[in-house]
Amino acid sequence: MESASQAGGGDIDIVYFKNLRELISYLDQLIMDNQRKAEAINKDIEALKSRVDKFQALQRIIEELIEKNKEVLPTAIELTGLKIYIDPRPTDEYDILKEGLDAIMDRNSVLKKVRDVVDILQSKVGQSDTMVVVEMRNGVPTKIVFRGW
């Protein structure tokens, strides 16, 4: 497998495989890596849940005690599109982790579907050593080119 990144237009990568078996192994590795990330994030989310509940209860009490129109200090500083959180509120941290987990799970679902399609292709094509070129967008194969068919 070889990779050639392409700048512009989002996260695009071109990856070369010697055959479909190599592509399937690569997809399996991506799926396993995403699953490990999802499990780690899930543990962090579970650990945060009690803090989030306590924080939300405290926040409701404070909102009742002060005027609701008071300006709330921002929880993040934004620099050139990058949000920086220092000692974030538990709810902010939870939202960030949940958003990341949802994206990983969505990507993994798509990867599994692509892997199933590639597996079907390999079963129909056989053990051919046809070069395979794959365009990846945001970590997911979007185009497959067979060379030397």
- Encoded amino acid at 56, one letter: Q
Is the Cβ–Cβ distance between 146 and 131 less than 8 Å?
Answer: yes
Is the Cβ–Cβ distance between 136 and 6 less than 8 Å?
Answer: no
Q: Which residues contact 98 (CB under 8 A, 6 or more apart)?
A: 45
- What are the pLDDT digits (tens) for 5-32? 544 456 899 999 999 999 999 999 999 9
What global pTM score does this model have?
A: 0.77
Q: What is the distance between the terminal CA atoms of the chain, rounded to a whole angstrom?
A: 18
- Tell whether the model's pLDDT for residue 133 goes beyond 60: yes
pLDDT at residue 100, as a whole number: 96
- What are the pLDDT digits (tens) for 28-86? 999 999 999 999 999 999 999 988 888 888 878 877 777 665 555 667 888 888 888 88
In the numeric block, the tokens 């005027």 are attached to 67
Q: Which H or E run includes 131?
A: strand 131-137
